[in-house]
Amino acid sequence: MNKPSLLIARQIYPEVLAKLEHHFQVDYNESDEVYSKEILIQKLSGKQAAMTTGTERIDEDVLLACPQLKICANIAVGYNNFDVASMTARKVTATNTPDVLTETTADFGFALMMATARRIAESEHFLRQGLWKKWSLDMFSGTDVSGSTLGILGMGRIGQAIAKRGAHGFNMRVIYHNRSQLSDTLEQACKAQYVSKEELLKTCDHLVLVLPYSPQAHHTIGESELKMMKPSATLTNIARGGIVDDAALVRALRAGQIAAAGLDVFENEPQLNPELLTVPNVVLTPHIASASRKTRLAMAELAAENLISFFAKGQALTPVNHW
């Protein structure tokens, strides 16, 4: 019996590749180049399956050109690179990798928020440039984390994990806004209080964004939202680029509308608004919130298991669409 054909669109761990080669006829992007749409279509031609990352856009054009495609397994919890409606209409299964990255991403989100609040990156640059000549009382004084108010926009698994770190580890008051309110049991576990989006923005000392991207969520945080926040507040985005209007954020940081920002995701990444590089009170990291080897391996393993299960049992483990 012929093995199903699979495109692995980016470089993966050798042990995951070996497992997939046992089950599939594999076309592997060993060079790890980011395919253009034209090359992606060429590589997917005749393939029944694809293992993708956020850099591969599976849209109507790709689906029309590759009618044999049956499943795309994303190595990510997010899947805004998938046109899910078109995939569902053409009965192409889309999968993601939930749960396995929750704790690692929450660790990073909290670390990025703390680095932002305490001006760690800004002060390190100062030191590296040889500008530290003396100690002074107010040098790089930042914002307290312990005992402050943590605001979370998007209260899924990662948002809840961040809430628990704040409430239980740092004695923070936790408020959140979400599409729907959590159950009483989950709210108690997180020590979190549901509030309106406006109250969240006006009240929090540290705002962390963990909501999924959708066209409706585009620029959820823009000029008007930033103006609602305290001048002493910080903003941390570990969700997706596009949720924050990066140009508006630059203006707000320069004007002192908020104190600082920590960004792991950007509009149009890996390109980013060059003005962000000129603003001292922003911490920038290259989309690495889930980047521990253990977690990234687990993500790749789950994506592989989705592919294997789909062809062996007719059902993926963590599908994001149904028909």
Q: Considering 118, 119, 165, 240, which one is annotated as catalytic?
A: 240
Is 45 within a domain?
Answer: yes
Is 319 within a domain?
Answer: no
**6 pLDDT band (50/70/90 cuts)?**
very high
pLDDT of residue 1 exceeding 80, the answer is no
pLDDT at position 144 is: 97
pLDDT of residue 262 exceeding 80, the answer is yes
Residue-number span of the structural domain to which 305 is assigned: 5-99+293-313
200 and 307 inside one domain: no
Is 247 within a domain?
Answer: yes
172 and 309 inside one domain: no
Over residues 69-92, the pLDDT tens digits come to 999 999 999 999 999 999 999 999
pLDDT of residue 108 exceeding 80, the answer is yes
CATH of the domain at 297: 3.40.50.720
Is 323 within a domain?
Answer: no
Is 299 within a domain?
Answer: yes
DSSP-assigned states of every residue in 171-191: --EEEEE-SSPPPHHHHHHHT
Is 201 within a domain?
Answer: yes
266 and 208 inside one domain: yes
The stretch 276-302 carries a mean pLDDT of 97
Is 320 within a domain?
Answer: no
pLDDT at position 321 is: 97
pLDDT at position 315 is: 97
**30 pLDDT band (50/70/90 cuts)?**
very high
pLDDT at position 247 is: 98
162 and 274 inside one domain: yes
pLDDT at position 249 is: 98
209 and 302 inside one domain: no
Residue 105 class from Cβ within 10 Å (0-12 exposed, 13-18 middle, 19+ buried)? buried
Q: What 8-state DSSP symbol labels residue 142?
A: -
Q: Considering the entire predicted model, what is its pTM?
A: 0.92
pLDDT at position 269 is: 92
pLDDT at position 210 is: 97
Q: Distance between CA atoms of 172 and 294, rounded to whole angstroms?
A: 29
45 and 110 inside one domain: no
Residue 33, CA distances (Å) to 8, 56, 127, 142, 300 in order: 12, 11, 36, 40, 18
pLDDT of residue 114 exceeding 90, the answer is yes
Q: Both tokens of residue 282?
A: 């922003």
pLDDT at position 148 is: 98
Over residues 192-243, the pLDDT tens digits come to 999 999 999 999 999 999 999 988 999 999 999 999 999 999 999 999 999 9
Over residues 128-173, the pLDDT tens digits come to 999 999 999 999 999 999 999 999 999 999 999 999 999 999 999 9
Cβ-proximal residues to 299 (8 Å cutoff; 6+ apart), any chain = 75, 76, 97, 100, 101, 290
pLDDT of residue 34 exceeding 90, the answer is yes
Instruction: Domain count for the chain, please give it.
Output: 2
Residue 240 is a catalytic residue:
yes
**57 pLDDT band (50/70/90 cuts)?**
very high
33 and 64 inside one domain: yes
**302 pLDDT band (50/70/90 cuts)?**
very high
pLDDT of residue 17 exceeding 80, the answer is yes
10 Å Cβ neighbour count for 45? Answer: 14
151 and 268 inside one domain: yes
Please provide the average confidence, as pLDDT, over all residues in the chain.
97
180 and 84 inside one domain: no
Q: What is the dihedral of CA 199, 205, 208, 214, to 10 degrees?
A: 30
pLDDT of residue 312 exceeding 80, the answer is yes
253 and 112 inside one domain: yes
196 and 268 inside one domain: yes
Residue 179 is a catalytic residue:
no
Is 322 within a domain?
Answer: no
pLDDT at position 278 is: 96
250 and 305 inside one domain: no
